[in-house]
Structure 1
Amino acid sequence: MLINAIDLLQRMKTGEQFVLIDVREKADWQRQTLPGAYHLNVYDYFIPDSTEYGVQQMANAFHHAWQQLLLGDNVTPVFFEQQVGMRSPRGAWFALFSGMEQALILDGGLDSWIAAGGEWLPGNGYSATVSPEYFDSSTVPKARHQLVATREEVLSIHQNGSILVDARRPSEFNGKFAHDCCHRAGRIPGAVLLFWEDVLQDGKFLDPAALRCLAEKTGLSANQRTVIYCHRGARAATIYAALSLAGFKNLAIYVGSWHEWAEHRELPMLSDI
């Protein structure tokens, strides 16, 4: 799921084909990017309702945006931003969810590419946005629904022997802070905190051994199904990628995350305030 800049440069020089996807703001892509990189906004999307139907619509929304780039599903995309944050992991997760066999994150992002001697140019190719405004009653048959947790699954997560991970800031976890769009502050009962920035250092992922150690200290086990949430699903993708690198296999993102949970007042929550 991860590739470093030196490896990417060398493999491209030998003729290996990659599709480079810049997930930063469009203006940043237009200013400078990897040669031939497409632009895809995966950040502003959030799922309106994490039912099975809503999840299918999310798959359709990504598939529609991908089609706007005039790309097939049989490519190897490399998602990147300035440094690894929450956008490139989310792009890779979207691609895997949509059924692609492989999706890579450029470790260290554009900064590492430039440091490795890679060329950068203004972006002027195709650009698209994953948008909930796209509606289609058809289905994406290859979508991997096991990578998604719905609101219903989260409600019964502990009865199923799964574990729930909160990727947000400690102040969001304990209820001291809530985004303006959320009418409640706190966390989902039973969640453990694994702050998304703790899996990164200097814009790159920690090495797999360090990530495994961090996961174990958090109380996570690779044998359990692990469901991750944040505010709207982006930071959760960074933890998803980190745990994948640590050897976890049964991972999912609760795509509604706190943005959805907070608006359903019938759902339980905890706060330390």
Structure 2
Amino acid sequence: MSNVLVDCTWLNKHLDDKDLVLLDAFMLNVVGKEPIEYSEFVTIPGALPFDIENDFCNNESSQLHALPTAQQFTANAQKLGINKQSKIVVFDNQGIYSAPRAWWTFKVMGFDNVKVLDGGLPAWIEKGYPTSHAYSQIAGRGDFVANYESNKLTDYQGVLAELNNPKQLVVDARGRARFNAEVAEPRPGVRAGRIPNSVNLPFASLMEGNGFKSKQALLQLFSDIGSENSDRLVFSCGSGITACILILAAHEIGLSNTILYDGSWAEWGSNKALPLEA
């Protein structure tokens, strides 16, 4: 079985499993890809809403899309009925977009029994499986408690301190035009360019249709950027969402020395005191 992914056939067989919690990690604001739009609300039967932009985002932070605090995550996970023994499957309505962010947030909070539905809702619909037009009812309050693992994250100071360390590789998930400063950033006040010494691996290059490419193809993509020569793989993007797609792919092929730069380019590009390449 995959390290981090399940497919639609597996999920359809296990929808009624005891302890399975199915989470729809939707995002209303999609950046970096053409959004898939639906004429009406639709989700997978039994799913609960995992709101990355509100409930599971620290909106008191100056940083865009900041990860929630451990206390915030614990409270909202418990509201969803998540228990210590829960088996989490996460998906999103774009195929593979924000579900990896939810997956990595669980990992940061010390919870490992979480996987992502490859291809997400579009793949589920394509397979002809039943859908629902409403979220499921929450059974009751859960007993999950976060155990925050700070080693899975870094901030701009951590990236800057290791900027000239050949064993740190900063991998940027944005599209090539943004990475090469050929287009303006979509967010006001953010400079165009990239973190010095970083490499580009656009998240779209990992996709085949709505899901991930084969393991062999992913291995080649990561080999092409020199990931095997790095002790510290730091992943960045626009605001910390699509970087998690790369982190998930890295774990799928057996790389575990992964760190999320949560502030990503929205933070780095906004700070004129930080160096950039263009």
Q: Of the candidates 209, 214, 217, which is equivalent to residue 221 of structure 2?
A: 214
Contact 2:74 2:146 in 1 (8 A): no
1:134 aligns with none
Give matches, 1:83-232, under 5 Å. 83-125=94-136, 142-157=147-162, 158-159=164-165, 161-176=167-182, 177-221=184-228, 224-232=231-239
Distance 1:175 1:61, change over 3 A: farther
**Distance of 1:70 and 1:35 partners within structure 2:** 16
Partners of 2:223 and 2:58 lie apart in 1 by: 30
Residue 24 of structure 1: aligned partner: 26
- Whole-angstrom distance in 1 between the partners of 2:14 and 2:229: 31
Moved more, 24-33 or 181-190: 24-33
TM-score by length of 2: 0.81
The answer to whether the 8 A contact 1:84-1:108 is kept is yes
Under a length normalisation based on structure 1, what TM-score does the superposition of the two structures give? 0.83
Residues in 2 aligned to 1:28 and 1:96: alpha-carbon distance in whole angstroms: 30
Q: Which residue of 2 aligns with 1:68?
A: 79
Matched, 1:252 2:252: no
Render the CA deviation track for 1:215-245: whole Å, top value 9, x for unaligned. 1112221752200001110110111111111
Tell me how far apart the structure 2 counterparts of residues 155 and 25 of structure 1 sit (CA, whole Å): 30
Could you give the per-residue CA deviations for residues 59-93 of structure 1, whole angstroms, max 9, x where no partner exists? 33333332332322431211112343321111111
Aligned partner letter, 1:97: V
Match of 1:130 in 2: none
User: How many equivalent pairs are there?
Assistant: 254
Residues 1:239 and 2:241 aligned together? no
Q: Is the 8 A contact 1:233 1:254 kept in 2?
A: yes
Q: Structure 1: where are the runs of 5+ without partners?
A: 128-139
Q: Distance in 1 between matches of 2:248 and 2:9?
A: 20
User: Is 2:46 the counterpart of 1:36?
Assistant: yes
Give the letter for the 1:21 counterpart: L
Flag the 1:218–1:187 CA change in 2: closer, same or farther, 3 A. Answer: same
For residues 116 and 183 of structure 1, the distance between their equivalents in structure 2, rounded to whole angstroms, comes to 41
Question: What is the CA RMSD across the aligned residues, in angstroms?
Answer: 2.7
Q: Distance in 2 between matches of 1:110 and 1:248?
A: 27
Cα distance in 2, alignment partners of residues 77 and 124 from structure 1: 16
What do residues 70-122 of structure 1 show as CA deviations (whole Å, max 9, x unaligned)?
A: 32243121111234332111111111111112211101112222333422112
Shift of 1:182: 3.4
Taking only the aligned residue pairs, the percentage that are identical comes to: 26
Tell me which moved more, 16-25 or 246-255.
16-25
Query: Displacement of 1:46 after TM fit?
Result: 6.7
Q: Tell me the amino acid that sits aligned with residue 19 of structure 1.
A: V
- Structure 2 Cα separation of the partners of residues 29 and 224 of structure 1: 46
Give secondary structure in 1 for the equivalent of 2:224: helix
Runs of 4+ aligned residues of structure 1 deviating over 4 Å after TM superposition are 25-30
Richer in helix (by share): 1
Residue of structure 1 equivalent to 2:273: 266
The one-letter amino acid paired with 1:22 is D
Q: Give the aligned residue type for 1:159.
A: N
CA distance in 2, matches of 1:81, 1:12: 16
For residues 192 and 25 of structure 1, the distance between their equivalents in structure 2, rounded to whole angstroms, comes to 27
Alpha carbons of 1:167 and 1:204: their partners in 2 closer, same or farther (altered >3 Å)? same
Aligned residue identity for 1:32: V
**C-alpha contact (below 8 Å) 1:43/1:234 kept by paired residues:** no
Aligned counterparts of 2:186 and 2:239: Cα–Cα separation in 1:
11
Q: Secondary structure of the equivalent of 1:122? A: coil
Is contact 2:90–2:115 with CA below 8 Å preserved after alignment?
Answer: yes
